[in-house]
Every structure is written in structure tokens, then in C-alpha cells.
């Protein structure tokens, strides 16, 4: 038996924006706090942006991020982008590194941030659909903090991160790109993706053989490295999966963590709602590999998956360990929890576990779980509720209105009634105070998953 993976404290520095989810960075000495050596500004032409400017003041900003990146050469340099639309015809390459005590910064200019729609938009729709036509490419770009930008309609990925570590991507959107919105690969490690949305990405287009089966919302996959964290993120309307952790290459036995993430309505082409057999449509696809023997460990806490074309939570052919705590699945077209891979070639790693605690589901297809532990994989289930039903009198609402709603200006998710629990009512409670405490599970970089009442509730949302 192996212990549940523990999220490593990433040695990154306090950034000027604090998320509503209370994201806490590793503790550092005050003398190590990152300070920008030089500040550069980018603005639209209407705001005075011109690449002939010095770029070091609001009164003489650059017109393009690419120009600012040529100037920001020292650890601790910062680039602030004014609100507005920026047309990209070629990829923005970020290939310089910061330092542990001096991160590089690419951020919205905060005084412009009146609401989530006032973030700068990088419109790549002039790009052809092509494998290397990414919106942003981070290559060996260690120690970066990227905050508050929107990338849409790139010819491939909205953002592709390779060979990069100790970097945060916060409050960013990846929209209608022609491959996965945000993909992490090339050994990238110690990456935190906080309060980001990736939606309506689809690999469809003229003069191409692409038929929708590659564009996920978020993809820590192929040859990704260890210690990847997603928190407070949403993925919806993508032509393939919401999250995809499929492995190919040298990656092995790494761990990806998801906290407070939502995924829904994946597996369809956003433009007209069509689908085909290449569009998988899983909510959270947790691993898998060509050889059926690669371990991509996953830890999911308080995550929500609903209305996906296929499974809500999908093991695929993951040969590693999966830990699901306080997750909710609703009305997925495949199994709400599909964690019983039966492929004859699957070879579990020694000590592999499947652990499910405090989860709930409502859906006509029910769940597909192993009946018991096997010599290859240990099964642990405690205090779950899996109902083959379309509703429950103990659920406050199954109305999905607002699930794609605009985030708050601090990046936090909209507050809804969907799949929340009724705090009062007649009869015995199935969900409230029915869970098991999780004092040793790390959540928001603190030990223990908090709860109200005498015991945890089931599912992703505590009552009240």
C-alpha cells in the first residue's frame, strides 16, 4: 500500500494578486520577496502603444508583448498589459527564466481590471490551423507568474508549456483554440494553474484531417512532469475531454492534483453541437497510455463533473493510483465514475490504490467501480452515495444556469445553487454530516479538508 501523494510546496514567491480560494504560497523569508527590476507596459494603439516607445512608462508603452519580452531580460522584470484586444499572427515565445527570489511577471495592468471581461484579449484568429501555431509558447520559462490574460482562436494550443517549472498561471482564459486550450508537456513540473477557464476548444477546420479528438480543456499529458496543480478551474464545451492526463514518452509515476475544479459538456463541437467517435468527451480523464502500464497518479478534491458525453471521472488505462475526495458527478452520458478498467494489457504499478471517500453522484448510467480489492490494486471506499436517479430531494437545485457565468474580479468562481445540499428538510439526511473526516489529506496546501458540522458532507459543496 502507498500513502496518498502529498502536494509538494512549490518554492515560488508571493505574487501581488491573491485568489479568492485562499491560495497560499510556500513560506519564504521576507528578504526573498520578488521585486520587479524593471516594469514594462503594453497598450493598444488607441492607448498610445507603439513598439518604438521606451515601454517603461504608461505614457510610452509598447504595442506588443513580443517587444516587451525582448526588453524584459533580467529576473524580476515585469510586463503589464493594458485592457484591450491584441491581434496575434505569430506565436508569442516566452523562453527566458526568472529566479526563485525574482520571478518574471506577465500580468494585466491591475487598475484596468474592472471585471473579468476587462482582461487583455490576445486574438489569434488570423492564424492558420497548424500544429505549431500556438498562441503562447513557454519553453524553459522557469519562475514565471502569468496573470489575467485571455488567449483565443490560436491555430493550435492557446498556451503550450514545455520544459518549464516553478511557474503559476492564474485567472487566464483559453477560448476556441484549435487544439487543447492549455497543455503542459516536455517535463514541465511544479506548475500551478489557478482560477482559469478553458472552453470551446476544438480541432476542426478546413484542409485538415482533424476531427475533434485532440482538443481538451486542460492537458497535463504525454511527457509532462511531476507536481502539477489545478485549483478553481473550469473546462467546458471542448471537442475532446475536459482534462486529459494521457501519457506517452518518458513520463512515469508523477502526480497531478485538482481542487475545486468543474468540467462539463465536453465531447461536442461548440459551433453546432455535433460529435463523432473520435471525440471522447470525458470530464476528468485521469491517465492512460499506449502500453497500459504508465502510472499517472491523480488526487481530486471537491471537483464537479456533469453533462459530459462520456464518463464524469474516467480511469482510462491508468496504471497508477487515483484518490477522489468529496467529488460530485451528475448526469454524465457514460458512467459518472468509470474507474474499473478491464483491459487485459493493464499492468498496475506496485502499491496502486483506488480511494473514494465522501463522493456522490446522480445519473442514469450510475457508476462502474471494482467490486473489491485485487492483488494488483487496493480498493478503499468510505461514505459515498451513488444513486441511479435524476434528482434528489436533498439537492438544492439541478438547474445548471450560470455554470459558465463570469468570474468575480478576483478570479473566484460564480456562487450557484447547482448540486449544493439542502441544509434543512424533513426526513433523514443522506449527504449532510455523512462523510468521514480527512485530516491527512492536503488541500489548499494545508493538511486536512475543512468542514462544517459534526462530520463532512458528501460531494463537492458543504451545506450553507
> Where in the chain are the domains?
1-37+74-464
CB 172 within 8 A of CB 146: yes
Cα separation of 257 and 324, whole Å?
10
Residue in the block written with cell 485592457? 83
Alpha-carbon span 222 to 192, nearest angstrom: 18
135 CB-near residues (< 8 Å, 6+ apart): 88, 91, 92, 122, 124, 151, 152, 154, 157, 158, 159, 174, 177
Buried b (16+ CB within 10 A) or exposed e, 288-315: bbeebbbbbbbbbbbbbbbbbbbbbbbb
Q: Which residues contact 302 (CB under 8 A, 6 or more apart)?
A: 259, 260, 325, 326, 327, 443, 449, 460, 461
Q: What angle do CA 77, 78, 80 make, to 5 degrees?
A: 160
Q: Which CATH number fits domain 1-37+74-464: 2.160.20.10, 3.40.50.150, 2.60.120.680, 3.40.1190.20?
A: 2.160.20.10
107 vs 433: CA distance, rounded Å: 42
Which pLDDT score, from 0 to 100, does residue 32 have? Answer: 35
The full DSSP string for 171-239 is S-EEES-SS-SEEEETT-EEEEEES-EEES-----TT----SSS--SEEE-BT--S-EEEES-EEES-S
Cα distance between residue 321 and residue 327, in whole Å: 16
> What per-residue confidence (pLDDT) applies to 249?
82
What Cα–Cα distance (Å) separates residue 428 from each residue in 210, 417, 419, 434?
Answer: 51, 21, 18, 11
End-to-end CA distance of the chain: 36
Q: Give pLDDT tens digits along the chain (464 positions).
A: 444 555 554 444 433 333 333 323 332 223 333 456 899 999 999 999 999 999 999 999 999 999 999 999 999 999 999 999 999 999 999 999 999 999 999 999 999 999 999 999 999 999 989 889 999 999 999 999 999 999 999 999 999 999 999 999 999 999 999 999 999 999 999 999 999 999 999 997 654 557 889 999 999 999 999 999 999 999 999 999 999 999 998 778 899 999 999 999 999 999 999 999 999 999 999 999 999 999 999 999 999 999 999 999 999 999 999 999 999 999 999 999 999 998 889 999 999 999 999 999 999 999 999 999 999 999 999 999 999 998 899 999 999 999 999 999 999 999 999 999 998 755 578 999 999 999 999 999 999 999 999 999 999 999 97
Residues 277/435, Cβ–Cβ less than 8 Å: no
Q: Determine how β-strand 446-447 pairs with β-strand 442-443.
A: antiparallel
pTM above 0.85, yes or no: yes
List Cβ neighbours of 436 (8 Å cut-off, separation of 6 or more): 357, 358, 382, 383, 455, 456
Residue 380 in grid coordinates: 478503499
Cell of 121: 484579449
C-alpha cell at 109: 495592468
How far is Cα 252 from Cα 55, in angstroms, rounded to an integer? 44
Compute the distance between CA of residue 98 and CA of residue 77 in angstroms, rounded to an integer: 8
Give the DSSP per-residue string, 133-177: --SEEEES--SEEEES-EEE--SS-SEEEES-EEEEEES-EEES-
Angle at 209 between CA 208 and CA 215, to 5 degrees: 90
Cell numbers at residue 338, please?
468509470
Amino acid at each position: 500500500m502507498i500513502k496518498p501523494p502529498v502536494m509538494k510546496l512549490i518554492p515560488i514567491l508571493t505574487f501581488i494578486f491573491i485568489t479568492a480560494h485562499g491560495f497560499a504560497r510556500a513560506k519564504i523569508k521576507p528578504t526573498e520577496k520578488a521585486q520587479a527590476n524593471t516594469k514594462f507596459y503594453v497598450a493598444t494603439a488607441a492607448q498610445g502603444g507603439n513598439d518604438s516607445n521606451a515601454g517603461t512608462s504608461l505614457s510610452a508603452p509598447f504595442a506588443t508583448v513580443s517587444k516587451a519580452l525582448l526588453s524584459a531580460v533580467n529576473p524580476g522584470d515585469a510586463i503589464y498589459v493594458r485592457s484591450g484586444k491584441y491581434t496575434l499572427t505569430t506565436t508569442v515565445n516566452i523562453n527566458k527564466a526568472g529566479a526563485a527570489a525574482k520571478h518574471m511577471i506577465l500580468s494585466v495592468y491591475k487598475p484596468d481590471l474592472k471585471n473579468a471581461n476587462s482582461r487583455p484579449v490576445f486574438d489569434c484568429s488570423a492564424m492558420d490551423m497548424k500544429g505549431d501555431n500556438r498562441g503562447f509558447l513557454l519553453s524553459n520559462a522557469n519562475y514565471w507568474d502569468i496573470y489575467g490574460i485571455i488567449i483565443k482562436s490560436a491555430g493550435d494550443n492557446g498556451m503550450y508549456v514545455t520544459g518549464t517549472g516553478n511557474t503559476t498561471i492564474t485567472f487566464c482564459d483559453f477560448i476556441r483554440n484549435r487544439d487543447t486550450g492549455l497543455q503542459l508537456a516536455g517535463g514541465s513540473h511544479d506548475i500551478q494553474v489557478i482560477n482559469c477557464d478553458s472552453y470551446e476548444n476544438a480541432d476542426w477546420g478546413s484542409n485538415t484531417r482533424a476531427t475533434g479528438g485532440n482538443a481538451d480543456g486542460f492537458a497535463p499529458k504525454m511527457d509532462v512532469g511531476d507536481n502539477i496543480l489545478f485549483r478553481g478551474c473550469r473546462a467546458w464545451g471542448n471537442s475532446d475531454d475536459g482534462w486529459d492526463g494521457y501519457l506517452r514518452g518518458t513520463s512515469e509515476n508523477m502526480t497531478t492534483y485538482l481542487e475545486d475544479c468543474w468540467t462539463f459538456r465536453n465531447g461536442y463541437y461548440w459551433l453546432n453541437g455535433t460529435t463523432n467517435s473520435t471525440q471522447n468527451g470525458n470530464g476528468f480523464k485521469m491517465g492512460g497510455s499506449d502500453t497500459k502500464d504508465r502510472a499517472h497518479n491523480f488526487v481530486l478534491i471537491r471537483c464537479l463533473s456533469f453533462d459530459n458525453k462520456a464518463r464524469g471521472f474516467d480511469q482510462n488505462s491508468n496504471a497508477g493510483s487515483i484518490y477522489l475526495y468529496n467529488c460530485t458527478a451528475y448526469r454524465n452520458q457514460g458512467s459518472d465514475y468509470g474507474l474499473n478498467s478491464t483491459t487485459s494489457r493493464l499492468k498496475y504499478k506496485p502499491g496502486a490504490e483506488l480511494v473514494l471517500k465522501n463522493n456522490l453522484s446522480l445519473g442514469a448510467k450510475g457508476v462502474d467501480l471494482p467490486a473489491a480489492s485485487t492483488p494488483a490494486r487496493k480498493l478503499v471506499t468510505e461514505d459515498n452515495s451513488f444513486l441511479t436517479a435524476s434528482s434528489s430531494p436533498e439537492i438544492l437545485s439541478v438547474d445548471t444556469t450560470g455554470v459558465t457565468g463570469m468570474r468575480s474580479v478576483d478570479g473566484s468562481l460564480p456562487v450557484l445553487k447547482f448540486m449544493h445540499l439542502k441544509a434543512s428538510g424533513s426526513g433523514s439526511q443522506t449527504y449532510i454530516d455523512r462523510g468521514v473526516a480527512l485530516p491527512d489529506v492536503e488541500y489548499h496546501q494545508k493538511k486536512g479538508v475543512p468542514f462544517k458540522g459534526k462530520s463532512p458532507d458528501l460531494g463537492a459543496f458543504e451545506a450553507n
